[in-house]
Homo-oligomer: A and B are copies of this chain.
Amino acid sequence: MNRTQDRPVTLADEHARAWRPETARARFREGLTGATAGVAAGHTQANLIAVPADWAYEMLLFCQRNPKPCPVLDVTDAGATTTVLADGADLRTDLPRYRIWRDGELVDEPTDATAHWRDDLVSFLIGCSFTFEWALAGAGVPIRHVEQGRNVPMYVTSRPCRPAGRLSGPMVVSMRPVPPQHLSAAIRESSRLPAVHGGPVHCGDPSALGIHDLARPDFGDPVDAGPDDIPVFWACGVTPQAAVTASRPPFAITHAPGQMFISDDRDEQYRVA
């Protein structure tokens, strides 16, 4: 499924880091693509999954029952293309790249989803761990995939989500290699942001999650770890895409992994304690 070949936008691109959210959305609307880690510093990023209205209850229940991978930031009314998370945004055009799904199969990856949009689609915007990378970086935690100009690596795990009606599937995780001396800060800072996945679901041995080769992620790019780095795994908002693959709803539109919706919300709005 990992077909996207975009050159990522990275923190090294100081322009993208300093963009206002509406600037980022306008650039993506014009056709710019790439992973959004490091874009529009301090603004909350979101995963997208839009499903037909007759699947909306099960998707919302799936999110409620699996809050670590699927923390819901907004749910639109059926047919709406706007969100309370960003003034003037158009969900059909303002993400860098989309995935179009029919019967659980990936059929297209356009940069504009307008031609595929339907009046019965309900859109779910789900918190993204790119959001807490600013807090990690602020606490001195190196963000390897950003340093290396790559998309974050993501893996399908052996851990099943709690099903909801017709929807089931495995949890997907993102992985960041963290030096041991920074592990405490990485856990502390991410835990303060439960709306964007919160603290990690696992630290250390990947096989505990059924991941056999960190060099071959299911989504995103492999990332080079430092010699003492510990792999740290966070629940990931690509999980609904794994549920689409496993459960085969007739139709869905999602973001391409790593290429997120950038909201107007500030990370601070979601910080607890």
Contact = CB atoms under 8 A, between A and B. Distances in A.
Indicate how many identical chains form the complex: 2
A64 B75 contact: yes
Given A273-B272, A273-B273, A65 B57 contact: no
Interface string A178-196: 0000000000100110100
Given A65-B75, A75-B65, A192 B60 contact: no
- Residue of A75, A191, A272 most packed against chain B (CB within 10 A): A272
A232 interface: no
Contact of A192 (B56, B57, B165, B272): B272
Contacts of A188: 273
A192 B272 CA distance: 7
A53 to B, nearest CB: 9
A171 interface: no
Contact of A191 (B57, B64, B272): B272
B64 A273 contact: no
A56 B57 CA distance: 8
Contact of A194 (B72, B75, B272): B272
Contact of A57 (B57, B194, B198, B272): B57
A32 interface: no
A143 interface: no
Contacts of A56: 57
Interface string A60-79: 11001100000010010100
A194 B60 CA distance: 19
Contacts of A198: 272
A60 B198 CA distance: 22
Contact of A60 (B60, B77, B165): B60
A256 B77 CA distance: 31
B192 A273 contact: yes
Interface string A40-59: 00000000000000001100
Nearest to A273: B273
18 contacts: A57-B57, A57-B60, A60-B60, A60-B61, A60-B64, A61-B75, A64-B64, A64-B72, A64-B75, A77-B165, A188-B273, A191-B272, A192-B273, A194-B194, A194-B272, A272-B272, A272-B273, A273-B273
Given A191-B273, A198-B272, 6 more contacts: A57-B60, A60-B61, A64-B64, A64-B75, A272-B273, A273-B273
Interface of A: 56-57, 60-61, 64-65, 72, 75, 77, 165, 188, 191-192, 194, 198, 272-273
